Amino acid sequence: MRVLVTGAAGFIGSQVADLLVAEGHEVVCLDALLPQAHGGGLPEWSRRHDPVVGDVRDPALLDRLLSGVDAVCHQAAMVGHGLDPSDAPAYASHNDFGTAVLLAAMHRAGVSRLVLASSMVVYGEGCYECARHGAVRPAARRPVDLAAGRYDPTCPHCAGPLTSALVGEDAPLEPRSTYAASKLAQEHLAAAWARQTGGGVWALRYHNVYGPRMPRDTPYAGVASIFRSALADGQPPRLYEDGRQRRDFVHVTDVARANLRALTAPAPDGLVPVNVCSGEPHTVGDLAAALASAMNGPSPVVVGGARVADVRHVVADPRRARELLGYTAEVGFVDGVTAFATDPLREPATLAG
C-alpha cells in the first residue's frame, strides 16, 4: 500500500511512518515543520523517509503527492491547549482549512480511504452517572466552585455528586477549547466528504498520548512532556486542581499500531469514530508521581486552580477499537512512563510562526 502521511515528521506521524515502512508499505511523507512542534527543524528520525517539507494547504503540492496513493493518514495539525483566543485563526487555518484542501485534493486524485487523527477533546467532559438520575451531562463547573477547590462536576438536575464512567464514541460532543472545536470540525468535514464521494474515514480519537519524540518546553506540548521538562530542571511537577483528574494515557507506539490497523482494515461506510486509548485510566497525579519516581526527582506539588476550558474526567471506552480494528494497547502505564523518563524528545519549540 502507498500511503500519504501528513505531519510525518511529528510526534505521532513519524511513528506511523516508521511502522508502515517496517510492515512493508510505501510512504509519502509531508510536514510543514510548524515551529510550535519543531523548534529544531527536521529531526534525524524523520530524514530516513525523505519527507517533503510543505504545507497541507497547498493544493498543487497535494496533487503531485497524491499520485498513485492508496490511502491518506492525516496527522498534520496544530495541537495542544493553546495560549488564548488569539490562537483561533491559526487552529482554523492549519486544522480545518488544511483538512478541506486535503479532502478536495483526494477527490481530484480519486483517493477514497482516510485515517484522520482526531482527539478525545471533542467530548468535552466525559460521561457521568448520578445515583438519582442515571446517565447525565454534567452541569458546567462554576468559577466559584473551582476557586473553592470543588472540582468535580455535579448533576444538572439535583446538584448531587456524579460518578465518572467510560466515554464511548456515541457520547455527546461538546468541545471546550479552540483546538477541540477545530478537531470536531475536521470530523464534520471528513464525514461530509465521505458522504459526497463514497469514501471511508476512520476518525481515531486519541486520548492522552505520550512517549518518545514529544515536543518539549512549549505550552502546546502534552502534560507528560511538561512534567518531564520540570523534573529535568530539578523542579517538581505542578498539578492543577487536586491532581485527581482522570485520563487515559496511551503510548505513542500503540497509537501508531492503531493507525496501521485502520489503514489495513476494510474501509468503513462513511466516517466511524474510534477511541484510541490504553484502557488503563490513571489520574494526572499518578502520571506526575510515576515520572518523578522514574527520574529520581522531587515529588509533585498541588497548586490548585484550573486551566481555562479544561475538563475534570475523560476516561475512554476501548471496546469499539478492539471490535472493529482488533486494536488493544500493549504498553502498560508503569513500563511506558518509566521509559519516557529517558526517551528522546524534540528540541525546544518556539511560539513564533
Instruction: For residue 273, give the nearest of 252, 254, 258 by alpha carbon.
Output: 258
The model carries a pTM of: 0.94
pLDDT score, position 36: 65
- For residue range 81-109, list pLDDT tens digits in order: 666 788 899 999 999 999 999 999 999 99
Q: Which residue has the cell 500519504?
A: 4
pLDDT score, position 351: 45
* Cα 331 from Cα 180, distance rounded (Å): 26
pLDDT score, position 272: 98
CA torsion through residues 172, 176, 181, 187, sign? negative
Identify the helix (H) or strand (E) that includes residue 204: strand 200-206
CA torsion through residues 37, 41, 42, 43, sign? negative
Using CA atoms, how far residue 24 sits from 1, 29, 66, 253, 352, in Å, is 8, 15, 19, 17, 38
pLDDT score, position 248: 97
* Cα 240 from Cα 228, distance rounded (Å): 16
Instruction: For residue 115, give the nearest of 32, 214, 27 by alpha carbon.
Output: 27
Do 128 and 138 form a contact (C-beta atoms < 8 A)?
yes
Cα angle value 272/273/279 (rounded, 5°): 135
2-126+167-341: CATH topology: Rossmann fold (3.40.50)
pLDDT score, position 299: 98
CA torsion through residues 42, 46, 49, 55, sign? negative
Please give the grid coordinates belonging to residue 207: 486520548
pLDDT score, position 309: 75
Low-confidence ranges of the chain (pLDDT < 50): 351-353
Domain ranges of the chain: 2-126+167-341
